[in-house]
């Protein structure tokens, strides 16, 4: 299955059509990071971009955010061409991006201030999202007083409080230890499920992808192109928010094995 079947039918939401990205390296030469990627993000889904390092998944996400322009092809959101970054596409980065000079509360409020959201509504949304990511006790703390996981929760709350149409996440838990990571995944899945948001997440962590994804777009590398789109049929159309239950669900192990094989093939092509 390739991505083309989706792209031809979908108009609303985020759609990528024949997107390629070339980076200039030395004089005259260039490297193809992303090649002819086409797919659409379905409304209310969690779409995970998975692949080995160097497959261009982060580049694809940055193009969705409008932080990078594609060399070829087009990206549209609800039929409108993406032209630079905007409030409708929020993003959480792998590195810590909580502004150190703002408190937790001010960080979460920051995006709404940029967009002239009224004070009353700002307060309401700050209260809600700070509580939602379990940071109420730390609302007046500065980021330096927070752990890595807490900093990422601030970043997630800040993005969600800004009410984007789509949430983009670039390995948001990549810098966290295993236990924190696992808690964060459950929390994130809970929030996404509850708020019915649309999310695209980049990761190279297979269990993380299987846990969060409604659909996995597997990218191969050199150049980055869609190798396979995996629907999570074994979940039977629901989200499983408990890790143990997920692993015990029939079909999980088979899918994980398939993805591992694809990863291994990608790696061996290098040698």
Partner 1 sequence: MRLTNAVLLPGPVKVMTSFVELFGEKGYLADIGMSLYRVITSFALACLIAVPLGILMGTFRRVEAFFNPLVSAFRYLPAPSFIPLLLMWFGAGESEKLALLFLGVVWFLITLIMDYAKSIPTDFINTALTLGGNRKQILWTVIVPAMLPNILTAMRQMLAVSWTYLVIAEIVAADSGIGAMMMRAKRFVHIDEIMAGIITIGFLGLFFDILLRAARRMLFPYLESND
Residues near partner 1, by CB under 8 A? 65-67, 84-87, 89-91, 93, 95, 97, 99-101, 110-111, 113-115, 142-144, 155, 158-159, 162, 168
Alpha-helical segments (H) within 174-241: 178-195, 206-212
| Least distance from partner 1 to the Cβ atom of residue 113, Å | 8
- Expressed in percent and rounded to 5, the helix, strand and coil fractions of the chain are 40, 25, 35
| Least distance from partner 1 to the Cβ atom of residue 162, Å | 5
Query: Distance between CA atoms of 193 and 265, rounded to whole angstroms?
Result: 34
66 vs 207, which CB is nearer to partner 1? 66
* CA of residue 237 relative to chain centroid, distance: 20
| Least distance from partner 1 to the Cβ atom of residue 145, Å | 9
71 vs 94, which CB is nearer to partner 1? 94
| Least distance from partner 1 to the Cβ atom of residue 259, Å | 29
2 vs 94, which CB is nearer to partner 1? 94
| Least distance from partner 1 to the Cβ atom of residue 34, Å | 18
**Structural tokens at position 20:** 């390629």
Cα distances (angstroms) measured from residue 169 to each of 37, 94, 233:
19, 8, 23
Look at residues 137, 131, 129, 133 and name the one whose alpha carbon lies nearest to residue 164.
Answer: 129
Number of neighbouring beta carbons within 10 Å of residue 166? 20
Through-space distance between the first and last CA atoms of the chain, rounded to whole angstroms: 27
167 vs 220, which CB is nearer to partner 1? 167
Cα distances (angstroms) measured from residue 213 to each of 67, 175, 188, 237:
24, 20, 12, 11
112 vs 210, which CB is nearer to partner 1? 112
81 vs 238, which CB is nearer to partner 1? 81
| Least distance from partner 1 to the Cβ atom of residue 239, Å | 25
């Amino acid at each position: 299955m390739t991505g083309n079947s989706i792209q031809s039918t979908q108009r609303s939401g985020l759609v990528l059509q024949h997107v390629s990205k070339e980076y200039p390296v030395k004089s005259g030469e260039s490297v193809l990071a992303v090649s002819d990627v086409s797919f659409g993000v379905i409304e209310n889904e969690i779409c995970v971009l998975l692949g080995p390092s160097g497959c261009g998944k982060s580049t694809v996400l940055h193009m969705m955010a409008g932080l990078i322009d594609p060399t070829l092809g087009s990206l549209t959101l609800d039929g409108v061409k993406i032209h630079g970054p905007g409030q409708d596409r929020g993003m959480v980065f792998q590195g810590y991006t909580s502004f150190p000079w703002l408190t937790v509360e001010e960080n979460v409020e920051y995006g709404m201030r940029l967009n002239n959201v009224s004070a009353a509504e700002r307060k309401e949304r700050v209260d809600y999202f700070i509580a939602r990511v379990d940071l109420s006790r730390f609302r007046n703390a500065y980021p330096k007083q927070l752990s890595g996981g807490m900093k990422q929760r601030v970043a997630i709350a800040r993005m969600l409080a800004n009410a984007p149409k789509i949430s983009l996440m670039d390995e948001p838990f990549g810098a966290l230890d295993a236990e924190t990571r696992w808690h964060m995944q459950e929390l994130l899945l809970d929030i996404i499920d509850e708020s019915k948001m649309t999310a695209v997440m980049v990761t190279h962590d297979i269990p993380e992808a299987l846990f969060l994804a409604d659909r996995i777009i597997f990218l191969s590398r050199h150049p980055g192109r869609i190798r396979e789109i995996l629907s999570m049929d074994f979940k039977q159309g629901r989200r499983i928010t408990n890790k143990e239950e997920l692993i015990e669900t029939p079909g999980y192990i088979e899918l994980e094995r398939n993805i591992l094989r694809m990863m291994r093939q990608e790696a061996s092509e290098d040698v």
